[in-house]
Structure 1
Amino acid sequence: MAARRRLAAGLPACVAWVGLAVCGWSLPVHAATDEFAQRFTFDLDKGAAYYSVTLPAVVYAASQRGDLGDLRVLNGAGEPVPFSLDTPREPPRTRPVLRSVQWFPLRPSSSGNGGATGRNGVPLGVTIAADGSLRATAAPPDREQHDTDLIDLGRMTPGAGQPDALLVHIRDDNYQGRVSIESSEDLRNWQAAGDGQLLKVTYNGSTLSQNRVPLIGSPARYLRVHWLDGAPYIGSLELEVLAANAVSTQREDAQREWREGVVARSGPKPGEYYFSTGGPYPVDRLRLNLPQPNTVAPAVVYSRASLDAPWRQVGSATLYRLHNGDVEQSNPPLELKADVDRQWRVVVDTRNGGLGAGALTVAVGWRPATLTFVARGDAPFTLAVGNAGLTSTAVSRADLLMGASAAVVPARLGTAQPEEPDTGALSMTRHPEALRRYLLWAALLLAVGTLGAIAWRLARGARAHAAPAAQGAPGAGAGAGSGEGVAGVASGAGAGAVPNTAVGASIATATAPAASTGPPAESNVPGSGNGGPVAG
């Protein structure tokens, strides 16, 4: 019964510790609001009410939230000030207009710089009409001598659109070469208008093609195309024209930041490659650089937010890296919907050898967000970031400006401030799930220890009680015999005196084996004493 009472007394403590562990697992961990992984000081031009800055890559790398919700702008007194965070939106895609254009093969010049020209500077083999259009006046040169083409884009109507690229449709089954383009309004003065590489390769019944050459600079009527690695058989040429209000691809690319040199590690299965972006970058371009030239392989790309989240497919493409003499071409970047996941996986089709030996390297591209804040309070103003326990406090830009006419002045973000935070507290702040696990395991270990201590005490008590019980049964029989002998002696006491010392000695001798350690127990025989006389 005593053992049961002790076990019942110990069980509530164990239940309490297990309950504490469950509560520690389920309750949220509240992080300290003044702990941040990084702080950056703003470099400001004094006198403005509003400032804005484009967030650099180091801010994304320090953030612990996919939505940049742990950003704070602090004044010199450490007080947070209002700010807005504007993420670039994907511009509406307007399908470009394609216009067929005429081209004229030119005879090579002795200088090797463009086609041969006449006295008036007009290329030989063409004439100019009154409206500026070109007409051929000679047969085209042989292909061995063909290295330049002249293109007439026709008259461009104002407001009709912006020429964005030249599309070259090649008739050859396989072609790989570089191209350079110049532009002119009068066929005499030329300026650079773009360059690129063209590719057409047949692979496993499908065709890999790169036929687009972006155009730069101001639009002009005439283009001169130089085939640096030999002219292809041209099926047709088209001019890609964007609408007047459309955003060009070149302008989009100019706004994009890149993180280069991310090395993907090989996975447990052939053809699997894993890498981490290292921050919540809103990746919308992914450039996969193959380790070996002359490689072609289809691939599928997956991403996930954390190590325990399921993978989801985000894109696919045929990867290639082809080398031909001085020309080497690679697959263009994959275009993705903005994705802030940190963990990525690339699965390559290995039926034709995969990627071969070497490391797959990755470059991730994104368009950074713009932060605008109110210069309330005294300088210096600081951007703090890196606290997983915080949520976003950003407001919309319209609410921040409130219709104010004050101009927003560009700000500059300095280098990270040197800090020595409480590493233990900051680690728990940045990894609340780890804290929950630590609490759970600590409580479980303490509960197991408590149960072990209770069991040890119960076992020890049981052994202590078992020993007297096992030795008490023989002692009782001896005591009974001794009692009978004493009774006999007592009955014969009237006949003669019996020495009480002998009786006391026999009783002590009989009861001695049953006594436990410590002082001898008193005899329960009437008239006995501790060696004293017994009344006759």
Structure 2
Amino acid sequence: MNKSSWCYCLLLSALLGAPWALAEQAADYSEQVPLQLSGTGPWYRLEVPMALQLAARHADLRDLRVFNAEGEALAYALTPASALPTEKRQEAALKWFPLLGAADQAAPAIRVQRSTTGTLVEVTPEVQGAAEQVRRGWLLDVSTFDQPLHRLRLDWSSEAEGFQRFSIEASDDLQHWSNWGEGQIARLSFANERIDQREVELPGTKARYLRLLWLAPQQAPALVSAHAVSIERSAAVPPLVWSQALTGQPGKPGEFSWELPLSLPLERIKVALPQANTLAPVSLSARLQGSPQWQPLGRGLLYRLPQDGKDVLHDEIELSGYPIQQLRLQVDPRGGGLGTQQPQLQVAMRATQVVFLARGSAPYQLALGQLAGQSAALPLGTLIPGYEPARLATLGVATVPAELPQRLEHEVAAQVGSDWQRIGLWAVLLAGVALLGGMAFSLLRKPNAAQGD
């Protein structure tokens, strides 16, 4: 083997021996956390506690991994923690009146009698001609239910089985009608089993009267009950995760500051008010990332005061969700301050959820805390083929040991700076590779120089 080949082999060995050519291991991360699984897999979701968020080296959790018992890194995705929208239903029983008319009549003509409030008292058909009168549908009085209409729930006589299709129209004056589309209800029996489909979707707007006209067959069944349903949905907002209490560092009189291990998108802070009869006007400021100056975040009034025999507490201030690492609280002395003890602060941010595919053997562990970490997260739709948001709530659940968050909070409370040992190792490796490369280049030039002589 000539010198040139030997140098190539030496350089290739050095490159293959570098850390990036090796499979990741849990020991490469400063924190390894055991996971406890429950529910049905193989996908599991973990809401990342604030203690783990603070133990990471990057706010976006790019240095997070999940390992199995064989030491293999598992596929995972990061997503905002799910918050299912809340749903509040209001229902009201309705009066109903039959609509009689000819089977081929588009809409039966009726005479109505209403009370002064608009409630229907009597509905009678206007008989036209000698055609046979059949029950074409029903008129529903919704005038006493002043809510948007999202559902209509009907019950009808047991002898009428099969599918029932009808048109839905709405009116406020019984003269002008708006088309709300079609509805379908059904009752099916088989082998002593019965399936009922009794609810019909409505557009979510208000109306005083509803007209239901059966399509096929045109003989409507006898109603037993009719209910209007209004549904109020609240927006789904990811929950907050809170840190443990952090003790502030005193500065000037009435001034306290806190420094987190990394910049986090904080949504809220909570200041402990241990003493009764506390009233404290405060101002909050922060050193935003890359700025040496304190930037004002807002003002607030913190208090713990008696009212009707119990304490009324207001100890939180909302923030904008901008990345913050250093906070400063200034207390107006005219309120009497916060007491003799150093104030304690809790910070909160929107929760992040880790979803992973549990391949291999348990126990599984979550690892984080690597300065040079790069994200390996997949999109959620790639991790779970055919994924739909409603499916997230059905996945198995992963949790961390109950005592873990407190231990991590104490470990990271004073964590500031870099992983100098790892930086030093990388520096030595890169310097070695550069030296080998220089040697190889020098040896490759010598034959050419000799030929020139």
Structure of larger gyration radius: 1
TM-score normalised to structure 2 length: 0.46
Question: Which structure dedicates a bigger proportion of its chain to helix?
Answer: 1
TM-score normalised to structure 1 length: 0.40
Question: Which structure dedicates a bigger proportion of its chain to strand?
Answer: 2
